[in-house]
Chains A and B, each alone.
Chain A
Amino acid sequence: MITRRELLRKLGVGAAVTPFLGNLPSFANAAPPRQRLVIVFSPDGTVRENFWPTAAGSFTGPEGDAETAVELRPILAPLAPFKDRLLTLKGVGNKIRGDGDGHMRGIGCLLTGVELFPGNIQGGSDTPAGWSSGPSIDQEIAGFLQARPETATRFGSLEFGVLVPDRADTWTRMVYAGPNKPVAPVDDPYQMFARLYGNVKHRESLRSVLDEVHEDLARVSASLPVEDRRILAEHADLVRGFERELAAEREVSRHAVPVLEPGILEANDRMPTISRMQIDLLVAALAADFARVVTLQYTNSVGQPHMNWLGVDEGQHDLSHEPNSNVDAQEKLTRINTWYAGEVAHLAALLAATPEPGGDGSMLDHTTILWTNELGEGNSHTREDIPWVMIGGGLGFRTGRALEFPSVPHNRLLLSLAHAFGHTGLERFGNPDFCGDGALVLG
């Protein structure tokens, strides 16, 4: 569990602002409550047996009757503290056909719901393909929110990654700003930090530097003929003015700046550390309202982390191709997927422990985490029964339930996400043929 003190340290909130946390001025209440969506991706399918609840129903039991409650299978066990805010959707599949192999269409159509363009990227099977031919739902929603002053934020959306390989191809990109416009996730926490806070940090450095510049200016000036001191005096005045500007700026933007452990190199073995650094940054960014739509992409489709910190030395993708009869592989894949669930649970815990800025309840009450995968199962490459897991109250869905659908296209789920943000004018998303009866009813 996370202590309040630990949380404050992680969020970098200084003592000066602590009294205001969770107790912000009431004028903020006038604004409509914030809604947020965090989409988490992990690769290579799941272990169906150890993932899916045994039946549809309630995780807490009807009227809280624990006896009849649907049980969490081992992979979802880390999410037990959030049972009442949990929603699993079985029977929702990625039906997109066309060019590209299963993994490519798995990730490339996951959030776009539309075919890949023909192209030159040859997969392990099927015809070669290029990028997605449409935008992804997170970008669609972010665009909707940015177009309205009451929901517009500094970035609109943020794309986090963890150990995404340094190559741009169909397997490494999930988010699309539009047709042929893949958006690269930022998997270096320092780079993300610079993006979020670089300006604040730089301007702080400048402030400290300018003071010393000022002293040196006086020394330079003293060595000059009187006529030439005029331009230096003007320069000194400007420097003073600039310093005052920086100081004023600092007063109005006291964003909590998280503290990152320095010097963590991107490497397989550092995946747990990098994951936590990214989650810290993600929560801080949401708390500061830098964006309301965020994606967090672990590795890539065909991802191959070697989770030796779990005692698993093989690569995940290799293991995922083993038949279900390989008990050892199934057990290791279960451990791997349980680890991802643990990271999702950590994210949920941080959000649950942070009071909603300017609102009621916790940040988790105003955020929905959607954890998903490009495949239903690794060895069969099926895109039926994609593992969809939601936690939190951001989208107003009725939680605490395990739902089962009769094999519906995932385009309808993507529509539900948009509609939950009030983007109800969006009647079709991706390939219209798969939008049939409209958004799935989850409320």
Chain B
Amino acid sequence: MASSAVRALCASLVVVASWGMRPASADEHPGAVIYREHCLRCHGENGVGTPAASAPLVGDRSIGQLSRYVADTMPEDDPTAVTGEAAARVAEWIHERFYSAVARDRHRPPRVDLARLTVGQHKQAIADLVAGFLPPPPGPTPERGLRGEYFQGRDFNPARRVLERLDPAVGFDFGVEGPDPERFEPGRFAIRWQGSIVPEESGAHELIVRTEHAVRLLVNHSDWDGPPLIDAWVKSGNDTEYRGTIHLLAGRPHPLRLEFSKASQGVDNPVHEKPRRASIELLWRQPHGVVERVPGRNLVPQHSPATFVVTTPFPPDDRSIGYERGSTVSKEWLAAVEAAAVESAAAIRARAGRLAGVKSDAPDRGERLRGFADTFAERAFRRPLDPALRALVGHPFDELSDLDAALERSLLLALSSPRFLFREPPGPTDAGIAPWDTAARLSFGVWDSIPDEPLRAAAARGELATPDQVEASVRRMLGDRRARAKLRGFLLAWLRVDRPVEIAKDPTRHPGFDAAVIHDLRTSLRLFIDDILLPADGPADYRRLFTAGEVPLNGRLAPFYGVDLPARSDFVPVRLDDGHRAGILTHPYLMSVLAYPGESSPIHRGVFLTRGILGNVLKPPAEAVAPLAPDLHPGLSTRQRVTLQTSPAACQGCHAVINPLGFALEDFDAIGRFRGEIGSDSVGSYVPREGPEVHFEGANGLAAYLVTSADAEEAFLQSLFHALVRQPIRAWGPQTLPRLRQSFAAKGFDIREAVVDIMKVAAFPPVPPPLETTDDHAP
């Protein structure tokens, strides 16, 4: 095993890479030595300047140019002192260290940069802009399933409704005799299911209905919309399966209505109706999912207004530093923004009567539509319109006589404006605007969307001026579905599985571990996370992420993990393996993701723990290495093989940290099954950024350490901050994270409380320091 000296070195490497500049050492750049000897006295540390040469040593010469310049002119009192190779070395070092634009950018203090809306924020903002003119959706309720109404006869005549009940899901085989021979003619009955569908992910969902009879499915459909998603009211030939694809937004209720009729349609004459079997099933395929019956947990019996979902595809956001942020603009992005603006403006124009509440023949239609356009822009811009802006968005109404065309153009203007597309910058704004900016920071932070009516009202009353006032708003906002969706998305991103991961397992070693099983495991992880975020009672305790012993399993998953459940059983929390489970650390989905097709992978697991959970920076390996094949070393355990392969000194720099963390999970195989007992292979250790090395045994031992680990808490809070605010936490100063951690501990590690704390900080971003001079009068 690695000696403690190697271990200490690599720990310091990790810490250094993460938290500051590497101090000069014996193997420092030769240019640094030359600089210290010949340049420092005038140019100062890092070229900041001295009274002798006050201008900072920055510029835009290339290394070659700078090298010639130094060789010819420097030092001023003896230009022959640094020439040739020495000039080249010092130029290289200066350039890389602080002279070039890239170097300056690297060293500039973290600040809150102006950013555009992320793709997700853009979609949600447009959805909420439209929704703001409709009745509010129902709040979260515990009820699940759809409201089923059963009718005698072939249609939905209220006078012949004989049964109304809550159906947890739609999957019925009524046979030939119908749902209830006492109350229905077997040949003639109709059923209507209504409620809302709440998807897990945003994106294109395929809805599928299987039945032998007339059926119609309307999803996210308004009365004034076009045809239903599925219209098979005409039963024709042998088709019994119907499909339709629709874009839905994660975590939001979208209205759903499913109509079924077992009877002939057209002329009302049952003469040709024969006794036939009747069955119906409602299924879906979520983005990246498999075809499955729509689960009851994604259905609620309450109706909700339709959500406007932009379908224009967007290029993905930058996530190079671990969280999605709108730090860059591109041609493709702008084209998508404008296409989405056109799509939205046309759709809103078509619905203007409903949204603006004005009839097509109203005498004051022009005034009313103009008022609607005003309000729309005000909400899109997240602030009251000053006279200039009012004139801008009203301009199309002065110019065009066709009111609908004017409205459409005004909407296009609002949705193309930087005031909509870019987030509110920090910095001094006039006191009238400040509370509106705060409101927008809160809504984008907690919901990734624009402020709602209560937030706007609070801003208008100037009630967002203090942290306490912010706290009251954030607490209210946390009850909204959008907050749940955002926190759920954050936890998946924190676990590095916010996008479904390709998993393939060895079919001989893990037979039956197919796409449906993997999909169910992902669902299990989601349910686990939901239970942490919204437990039946008590706080959303961060520590339970590592310690909860129960795993949600259904009938399909149970046999893989040695549990006896009925084959069709829905998900139930199961206490597995006599308490050897440690929350997300041993969740079978993560264990399967962090493994090879047939074998566990301590390295993948170790990297996940080092980077993701403990927040350390790791450099990519010097060269790509294929894992040693197990059959070449049949006598070695996985732990021994990994140790053997990563033993070279070049590897140990990182693997001395990675391996002992990954080994702690060695009791769980490639699909996350417990191997039976805690063995010596799962002994692990970690050197925290502060304090002595810790040792642990197995997943439970690791979990016991993590719930007390300052490193893990910091990494978690920092990730949460970035997910909410999408700006670097360090811009708020070095004390922000320690303070958040103190408060986190004081409030019992409640994740929702952490959101409140973070938003209280983030609502008031630091005013960025004034711009450094980058004048190029220096070389």
Q: How far is the CA of A239 from the CA of B416 in the complex (A)?
A: 10
Q: In the complex the two chains form, is B412's CB within 8 Å of A209's CB?
A: yes
Stretch at the interface among B171-179, B334-342, B665-673, B750-758: B334-342
Q: How far is the CA of A120 from the CA of B266 in the complex (A)?
A: 8
- Given contacts A168-B233, A180-B237, A225-B427, whether A232 and B266 have CB atoms under 8 Å apart is no
Q: In the complex the two chains form, is B331's CB within 8 Å of A198's CB?
A: no
Q: How far is the CA of A219 from the CA of B213 in the complex (A)?
A: 61
Task: Report which of A124, A168, A194, A223 forms a contact with B267, defined as CB distance below 8 A.
Answer: A124
CB proximity of B402 to chain A, nearest CB, Å: 6
- Given contacts A119-B234, A263-B360, whether A216 and B412 have CB atoms under 8 Å apart is no
CB proximity of B272 to chain A, nearest CB, Å: 5
Q: In the complex the two chains form, is A216's CB within 8 Å of B417's CB?
A: yes
Please indicate the chain A residues that have their CB under 8 angstroms from the CB of B390 in the complex: none
- Given contacts A206-B342, A210-B416, A241-B331, whether A228 and B234 have CB atoms under 8 Å apart is no
Please indicate the chain B residues that have their CB under 8 angstroms from the CB of A208 in the complex: 409
Closest to B415 in A: A209
User: Is A18 an interface residue when CB atoms closer than 8 A count as contact?
Assistant: no
Q: How far is the CA of A232 from the CA of B263 in the complex (A)?
A: 62
Q: In the complex the two chains form, is B417's CB within 8 Å of A224's CB?
A: no
A-B contact count (CB 8 A): 154
- Given contacts A121-B234, A170-B234, A180-B236, whether A238 and B263 have CB atoms under 8 Å apart is no
Among B556-595, those with CB < 8 Å from A are none
CB proximity of A173 to chain B, nearest CB, Å: 9
Q: In the complex the two chains form, is B425's CB within 8 Å of A120's CB?
A: no
Please indicate the chain A residues that have their CB under 8 angstroms from the CB of B422 in the complex: 220, 231-232, 235
Closest to A127 in B: B272
Please indicate the chain A residues that have their CB under 8 angstroms from the CB of B360 in the complex: 263, 265
Q: How far is the CA of A121 from the CA of B265 in the complex (A)?
A: 5
Q: How far is the CA of A241 from the CA of B235 in the complex (A)?
A: 52
Among A199-245, those with CB < 8 Å from B are 202-203, 205-206, 208-210, 212-213, 216-217, 219-220, 223-228, 231-232, 234-235, 238-239, 241-242
Q: How far is the CA of A212 from the CA of B419 in the complex (A)?
A: 13
Q: In the complex the two chains form, is B237's CB within 8 Å of A179's CB?
A: yes
User: Is A118 an interface residue when CB atoms closer than 8 A count as contact?
Assistant: yes
Closest to B228 in A: A168
Among B381-403, those with CB < 8 Å from A are 388-389, 392, 395, 402
Closest to A219 in B: B388
Please indicate the chain A residues that have their CB under 8 angstroms from the CB of B417 in the complex: 213, 216
User: Is A353 an interface residue when CB atoms closer than 8 A count as contact?
Assistant: no
- Given contacts A216-B392, A234-B329, A262-B402, whether A122 and B236 have CB atoms under 8 Å apart is no
Q: In the complex the two chains form, is B768's CB within 8 Å of A242's CB?
A: no
Closest to B412 in A: A209
Q: In the complex the two chains form, is B425's CB within 8 Å of A228's CB?
A: yes
Q: In the complex the two chains form, is B328's CB within 8 Å of A231's CB?
A: yes
Q: In the complex the two chains form, is B235's CB within 8 Å of A120's CB?
A: yes
User: Is B771 an interface residue when CB atoms closer than 8 A count as contact?
Assistant: yes
Q: In the complex the two chains form, is B418's CB within 8 Å of A216's CB?
A: yes
Q: In the complex the two chains form, is B408's CB within 8 Å of A205's CB?
A: yes
Task: Report which of A130, A212, A220 forms a contact with B395, defined as CB distance below 8 A.
Answer: A212
Closest to A223 in B: B429
- Given contacts A120-B214, A169-B234, whether A239 and B267 have CB atoms under 8 Å apart is no
CB proximity of B582 to chain A, nearest CB, Å: 44
Q: In the complex the two chains form, is A209's CB within 8 Å of B330's CB?
A: no
Q: In the complex the two chains form, is A238's CB within 8 Å of B266's CB?
A: no
Q: In the complex the two chains form, is A220's CB within 8 Å of B418's CB?
A: yes
Give the bracket for the number of chain B residues in contact with chain A. Answer: 35 or more
Q: In the complex the two chains form, is A242's CB within 8 Å of B338's CB?
A: yes
Q: In the complex the two chains form, is B269's CB within 8 Å of A242's CB?
A: no
Among B403-417, those with CB < 8 Å from A are 404-405, 408-409, 412-413, 416-417
User: Is A339 an interface residue when CB atoms closer than 8 A count as contact?
Assistant: no
Q: In the complex the two chains form, is B237's CB within 8 Å of A238's CB?
A: no
Closest to A179 in B: B237
User: Is A35 an interface residue when CB atoms closer than 8 A count as contact?
Assistant: no
User: Is A131 an interface residue when CB atoms closer than 8 A count as contact?
Assistant: yes
Closest to A166 in B: B227
Among A308-334, those with CB < 8 Å from B are none
Closest to B332 in A: A238
Closest to B419 in A: A220
Q: How far is the CA of A287 from the CA of B574 in the complex (A)?
A: 69
Task: Report which of B237, B263, B338, B409 forms a contact with A119, defined as CB distance below 8 A.
Answer: B237
Q: In the complex the two chains form, is A242's CB within 8 Å of B334's CB?
A: yes
Closest to B262 in A: A120
Q: How far is the CA of A123 from the CA of B236 in the complex (A)?
A: 14
Please indicate the chain B residues that have their CB under 8 angstroms from the CB of A263 in the complex: 360
Please indicate the chain B residues that have their CB under 8 angstroms from the CB of A130 in the complex: 234-237
Q: In the complex the two chains form, is A198's CB within 8 Å of B346's CB?
A: yes
User: Is B514 an interface residue when CB atoms closer than 8 A count as contact?
Assistant: no
Among A123-152, those with CB < 8 Å from B are 123-124, 127-131, 133
Q: How far is the CA of A430 from the CA of B419 in the complex (A)?
A: 59
Please indicate the chain B residues that have their CB under 8 angstroms from the CB of A205 in the complex: 342, 345, 405, 408-409, 412
User: Is A117 an interface residue when CB atoms closer than 8 A count as contact?
Assistant: yes
User: Is A184 an interface residue when CB atoms closer than 8 A count as contact?
Assistant: yes
Of the A-B pairs whose beta carbons lie under 8 Å apart in the complex, a sample of 8, sorted by A's number, is: A123-B266, A128-B265, A168-B227, A208-B409, A231-B113, A231-B114, A235-B334, A241-B331
B residues with a Cβ closer than 8 A to A are 111, 113-116, 213-214, 227, 231, 233-239, 263-269, 271-272, 327-331, 334-335, 338, 341-342, 345-346, 360, 388-389, 392, 395, 402, 404-405, 408-409, 412-413, 416-419, 421-422, 425, 427, 429, 768, 770-771
Knowing that A121-B265, A122-B267, A216-B392 are A-B contacts, what are 5 other residue pairs whose CB atoms are under 8 Å apart, sorted by A's residue number? A119-B234, A120-B213, A120-B214, A122-B271, A216-B417
A residues with a Cβ closer than 8 A to B are 116-124, 127-131, 133, 168-171, 179-180, 184, 194, 198, 202-203, 205-206, 208-210, 212-213, 216-217, 219-220, 223-228, 231-232, 234-235, 238-239, 241-242, 262-263, 265
